Structure 1
């Protein structure tokens, strides 16, 4: 691990903020690092207000989208709500369809089949719309590159409204409205919304026309918060407001589908991390293993007993998913060793029978062993399909763009993308991708980095410190959990390895003989020798709560140790 200490913020700004908020300097320093420099900014950060949401009509084409939907409702047209099969897509479809059903019964949902149709808007979906007399399709979390598909729909007198957040291509589809803040000529002030966030702005605009307020839309924010967490968009600005209030709605368990999942988890209050690692994988498992419509059915179900049945089905899909990704990861790692590719700067692996639904997860798993840009391919019809994942700081989307002569189609973000290519182009692409990454990547990025917010004395950590740190949540990109570094630590003599195969480390540390903190270090079992015999060491960690037999105490969650 590379330890990188973030630059110290301006000490005068830190002191001024500490004085105005009456907080300790380490906390003020953390806030200034996050761009919070005065009382008003701190107030907005700690008390995210729905009043801080931007006017939805600032988004390009919003007025056109609203007029077309109002027209469809007035003329009793059939509306098809279409979305991708992942968490962002299925939550978007649940949000839009359930809102529109409060205005008209003539609403249906469509999630493309991951295997038969692939990502995004499909010709099959448009044919379905024509066969069933839909004259308006609202596409969510996809569509900004669907130029040919939108033209095909137009020939059939089917209009499109696109709500997307992916990077647009050179040509924008000829839809009635394209809502995507990443369009170059869109002046919307916040560019980092997820697909469900863009969908929420559309229902916010529709609600305004009907004289509704933001408070009338609160019940939908649990879906938006889940999409924000799962899609790993920055939890800054408008996303922070939506995630903060959405988490409250999640924890009220008013949506039958969420209550059914949360009841399985036996957990009272969920954080955004819980949403990302427990709710999101279950919703995703439907589209990965069976069909994304199962997730939409769960998220829109009103009857709790029916929702419980759906949640049990989805839990079974998730168990299958876990087993499948574990097996494929083992096979992929074996392939890298067999082909003597451990020293390459990329991992590109392919096996025709790998399950398409889990190749993205497998790519992430491979990065845990070989920390480098990674693609996992499988056969999909007569093409090969891949999921790409990147390492922190490297734009895999740009790297794919540079190899586009070998690719049929691709799309995605800086850190995650999907693509298809012809089988005969696989080897040429694999070499081109390796060459492009070798040429453009800073070699330091191939060592995992821990970004440390600040150094800290253990004596600074007390209940007040923790109370304020907790209010920094929800955490995520742009506002990560604060990471501290403390030197001159010593184990009190009871440090040991714990867990299966002694993978983890547990110890009690002191810095000056006074304060003592219990520490848990996941996957750090191999570093036990660094702390044995009361050797001095330094640690990087976050502060956490330990709940045990009804008692709550502060503990340090170790990220890494060094002599």
Structure 2
């Protein structure tokens, strides 16, 4: 059970009269937009219809003009471009987008995506030296990395590279000595400081595309790569507001078109029609894990090649390989999760967990950390052996800034980096117990000595007369895509009576409830996914209240109303 907290409703009030009619949406939709800070019909209209015309110009982003100038000069000098990405979805899609743009303009170019196990994250000097010896040193262009790689950038310049860093991670106190750096976090004074790495790549390539087109007369249609932008942005879990919303909303339309063979075949391998329209959640939980599996258990180049190829046969082969790797990843994840759960149980009174398994796979520990946070609602660091050191991945709860917390443990670590709710770290094995004590102490300093109770943000109360109205449900769909910064609306029900409880699913892990609203007599179906152990048989016949999200289920072509249970409480 969670603590229900109603969003700003009482302070913000309802949307002013007449705005809903002007926008052509149900009143509940206008009220939600108003509560989320959209204070004019024009801003609401832009949110509901986020067209590409609302994209910011490249000059709005810190360092973008200098980066384009540097790239253009090097390209006109005939220098080869080495694109250095990352092994996750954001880095892979960003690198693919860059290479596609370079190839359109016939710029000699190649991509390097580091091996997670042998190279680690970001630029590394041995591989830079190898690539310089084999391919020569032209332009080194990073995507989704580089902002912290001071020594590697210094070495790249010694090797003769012109270095352009494009990244979106938090800049350190000392920036690398690159020829140009573009990163929206270098300044808060820009349209979207929380762009993903692939978003930075998109604006950089759009500007370069325009610049090169001024002399060649050739301009690539940048809409062709919006599918990559949506995929990488959604997978990186950045805020889906402002420019990100525009990019993702339009990119999902391109994913639905499936003109890229790699995405068409990946959708097929994920159980969807190649031309199915997918929601943000389906991309995050079905497509993205398969691409991430390449970097976790295989080579990220597999996913890059799949997204780049023009051959459906080659794309299908690679999509099946990624699916097999993802199945392997899931089995490994389940093993590590069970072992991590045992350690967490044994560490009971700690407010932050530092869990360690020598043979845990470093490509999976981040996912397991997220699951442990979901289970215990406490910050978690999960570590595994990596040569002579320990490598770790951390996840946090909204109340605790993980990056700031690790900063206060920095003297125990060999290195770390990341964001407020996700981070990576490296440390010496002999300091593991010291980190356990320090991490717990830092959390207690910030949050107090009592474990947190998770809260659930509820937007408003919604009677079943509205929850069963297809006009309302269609209106709520206009708010998609949902994610961080634009959460899916959650409503509180009026008092209900549970008429029937039924378990379903392969392991009967899901619950279906037939619930009747007492005031109106309207009966609806509600489904609680993976909550069979939390909703007992004894709930049948009880008076309850639900926190739920209503939606349209179009199973077998027949549309029906279905409520997704987010939480529930017994009424007296």
TM-score range, shorter chain: over 0.9
For the residue of structure 2 that corresponds to 1:549, the secondary structure is helix
Q: Is the 8 A contact 2:122 2:146 kept in 1?
A: yes
For the residue of structure 2 that corresponds to 1:27, the secondary structure is helix
For residue 217 of structure 1, what is the aligned residue in structure 2?
A: 222
Relative to structure 1, the CA distance from residue 140 to residue 443 in structure 2 (aligned partners, 3 Å threshold; closer, same or farther) is farther
Matches within 5 A, 1:40-189: 40-131=42-133, 132-184=135-187, 187-189=189-191
Q: Is the 8 A contact 1:14 1:25 kept in 2?
A: no
- Pairing partner for 1:233 from 233, 238, 242: 238
CA displacement at 1:367 relative to structure 2: 1.8
CA displacement at 1:310 relative to structure 2: 0.9
CA displacement at 1:503 relative to structure 2: 2.9
The 2-side partners of 1:213 and 1:40 are apart by 35
Q: Is the 8 A contact 1:285 1:317 kept in 2?
A: yes
The 1-side partners of 2:218 and 2:3 are apart by 48
For residue 34 of structure 2, what is the aligned residue in structure 1?
A: 32
- Once the two structures are superposed, residues 370-414 of structure 1 have per-residue CA deviations (whole angstroms, 9 ceiling, x without a partner) of 220001101112211000001123211110011000111111111
For residue 494 of structure 2, what is the aligned residue in structure 1?
A: 487
Relative to structure 1, the CA distance from residue 335 to residue 144 in structure 2 (aligned partners, 3 Å threshold; closer, same or farther) is same
- Once the two structures are superposed, residues 22-77 of structure 1 have per-residue CA deviations (whole angstroms, 9 ceiling, x without a partner) of 54432222111222222211210111111111111122222222122222222221
Relative to structure 1, the CA distance from residue 442 to residue 269 in structure 2 (aligned partners, 3 Å threshold; closer, same or farther) is farther
Structure 1: tracts of 5 or more residues without a match: none
Q: Is the 8 A contact 1:2 1:447 kept in 2?
A: yes
Matches within 5 A, 1:314-463: 314-337=322-345, 340-441=346-447, 446-461=452-467, 462-463=469-470
How many residues get paired? 558
For the residue of structure 1 that corresponds to 2:363, the secondary structure is helix
Q: Is the 8 A contact 1:407 1:422 kept in 2?
A: yes
Backbone CA RMSD of aligned residues: 1.9
Is 1:475 the counterpart of 2:482? The answer is: yes
The worse-fitting range, judged by mean Cα deviation, of 408-417 and 264-273 is 264-273
The 2-side partners of 1:222 and 1:444 are apart by 44
The 2-side partners of 1:147 and 1:481 are apart by 40
CA displacement at 1:124 relative to structure 2: 2.4
> How does the TM-score come out when normalised to structure 1?
0.95
Relative to structure 1, the CA distance from residue 366 to residue 165 in structure 2 (aligned partners, 3 Å threshold; closer, same or farther) is same
The 2-side partners of 1:248 and 1:192 are apart by 22
The 1-side partners of 2:429 and 2:149 are apart by 24
For residue 4 of structure 2, what is the aligned residue in structure 1?
A: 3
The worse-fitting range, judged by mean Cα deviation, of 221-230 and 204-213 is 204-213
For the residue of structure 2 that corresponds to 1:450, the secondary structure is strand
- Once the two structures are superposed, residues 430-488 of structure 1 have per-residue CA deviations (whole angstroms, 9 ceiling, x without a partner) of 21111101111267872222110111111122011011101111111111111000121
> How does the TM-score come out when normalised to structure 2?
0.94
Is 1:561 the counterpart of 2:568? The answer is: yes
Q: Is the 8 A contact 1:397 1:413 kept in 2?
A: yes
Q: Is the 8 A contact 2:23 2:45 kept in 1?
A: no
Relative to structure 1, the CA distance from residue 308 to residue 459 in structure 2 (aligned partners, 3 Å threshold; closer, same or farther) is same
Is 1:547 the counterpart of 2:565? The answer is: no
The worse-fitting range, judged by mean Cα deviation, of 72-81 and 306-315 is 72-81
For residue 499 of structure 1, what is the aligned residue in structure 2?
A: 505
For the residue of structure 2 that corresponds to 1:473, the secondary structure is coil
**Deviating 4+ runs (over 6 angstroms):** 212-215
For residue 251 of structure 1, what is the aligned residue in structure 2?
A: 256
The 2-side partners of 1:510 and 1:181 are apart by 50
Q: Is the 8 A contact 1:347 1:370 kept in 2?
A: no
Structure 2: tracts of 5 or more residues without a match: none
Q: Is the 8 A contact 1:141 1:164 kept in 2?
A: yes
Relative to structure 1, the CA distance from residue 307 to residue 143 in structure 2 (aligned partners, 3 Å threshold; closer, same or farther) is same
CA displacement at 1:213 relative to structure 2: 11
Q: Is the 8 A contact 2:104 2:220 kept in 1?
A: no
CA displacement at 1:541 relative to structure 2: 0.5
The 2-side partners of 1:112 and 1:215 are apart by 28
